Every structure is written in structure tokens, then in C-alpha cells.
Amino acid sequence: MGKGRMEAFSDGVLAIIITIMVLELRVPHGTELAALRPLVPVLLSYVYLGIYWNNHHHMLHAARHVSGSVLWANLHLLFWLSLVPFVTAWMGENHFASVPTALYGCVLLMAAIAYTILQRQILRAEGPGSVLATAIGNDMKGKLSPLVYITAIGAALVNPAIAEGMYVVVALVWLIPDRRIERALTARS
């Protein structure tokens, strides 16, 4: 089965999510620098969605088969990602209050779990000796991120600034380009 339409549909959904989030940016009240603080969560979420698009792109590029369960795992991931603009706006408008900051972490956690499920479904279709299986390896980043999110959700209820810092750190860790898949593909060809 072709993976082209699944990529096109995912691109459409991600393009809408990322664009609507920026389009709905409100004008900051006041002229001092502190007025720009509500823009920070939008930037953070933009980077997160960019990372997801990038990794999604790489993973599907290396995949050769797409089954019915992969299509559903993908829809499940897109569902959680389309909640990102909502929790981002809620967190930004409430100046990083405890509950919105924790909820932001919950959506990141659910998206990370959904991504792992999608990855497993694709790997199962590819088989153990596939390029993708080699490329992903033990997947340390993928296993640690949910643990950091859970810690951050707990920390948000005590001190939201700590949770914020953790979200930024995870984003930075993922920003470092993940050349595993590119390398594995080059090694094969």
C-alpha cells in the first residue's frame, strides 16, 4: 500500500496546526519586553511541532510498507498534536499558571506515546533487520522524553518555572539533528 497519501494527509494536518497557532497570535499589550512573554510558548510549540514534522518525515522516508494499523496510529498521533495550539494558548494567556503548564506537559506526553506506538507499528511492518530498525537502535531519546514529561507535570504543580525549563531542554535535545536514519540509509545504498 502506498505511503504517499498518508504523508500528504499528515502534512496537511501539521501545516494547518502550525499555521493557525501562529495566525492566532495576539498583539502583546504594553511596550516593555515583559509583554512579549506570552509569545514564548508559541515559539516553543512551533519548535516542538517542527521536530515532530521533521522526525515523521525521516521515519516515513525510511519506511517501505504502510498497513491499516499504521494509518490509525498516525491519526492518533495527529489528534494529540492538534491539541497543542489549544494548550499553548491556555498556558500563554494564564502566564504559566500551574494547571495549564501541567496540561501542556500531558499533551506532550500523550503525543510522545502516540509517536512511539506509530514507530512500533511501522517497525513491525518493516521487520527486525530493516534499515529503520537499525537506524532507531535503542532509541534513548524516545524512551527518556516521556519520563521527563511526567516529572515536569509533577513539577508544574509545585513550581511551573521548573516544568517550563524541562520542556525547553527536551526540545533542545531533539533539535540536535537526528542523523541516525540518514546515516543508516547512506550505509545501505
* Length of the chain (residues): 189
Q: Decide: is 25 part of the binding site for a second copy (CB under 8 A).
A: yes
Helices (H) and strands (E) in the chain, counts: 9, 0
Cell of 143: 524512551
| 65 or 143: CB nearest a second copy | 65
Q: Does 53 interact with a second copy (rule: CB under 8 A)? A: yes
Residue from 61, 64, 65, 120 touching a second copy (CB under 8 A): that is 61
Q: Which of 9, 98, 131, 141 binds a second copy (CB under 8 A)?
A: 9
Under the binding rule (CB under 8 A), the answer on residue 5 touching a second copy is yes
Sort 34 into a burial class: Cβ within 10 Å, 0-12 / 13-18 / 19+.
exposed
151 contributes a contact to a second copy by CB under 8 A: no
Q: Dihedrals φ, ψ of 127, to 5°?
A: 95, 160
Kindly state the smallest distance separating residue 185's Cβ from a second copy, in Å: 8
Based on the shown chain and the rule CB under 8 A, indicate whether residue 36 belongs to the binding site for a second copy. no
Who's near 42: CB < 8 A, 6+ residues apart? 21, 22, 25, 88, 92
x/- site string to a second copy, residues 89 to 128, per CB under 8 A?
A: -x--------------------------------------
Asked if 85 interacts with a second copy (CB under 8 A), we say yes
Asked if 118 and 180 count as a contact pair (C-beta separation under 8 A), the reply is no
User: What Å distances lie between residue 174 and 11, 68, 112, 179, CA to CA?
Assistant: 20, 29, 12, 11
Q: Half-sphere exposure (CA, 13 Å, Cβ side) for 121? A: 19
> According to CB under 8 A, which one of 2, 128, 129, 137 is a site residue for a second copy?
2
Q: Which residues bind a second copy (CB under 8 A)?
A: 1-2, 5-9, 11-20, 22-23, 25, 27, 46, 50, 53-54, 57, 61, 68-69, 71-72, 75, 78-79, 82-83, 85-86, 90, 177-179, 182, 185
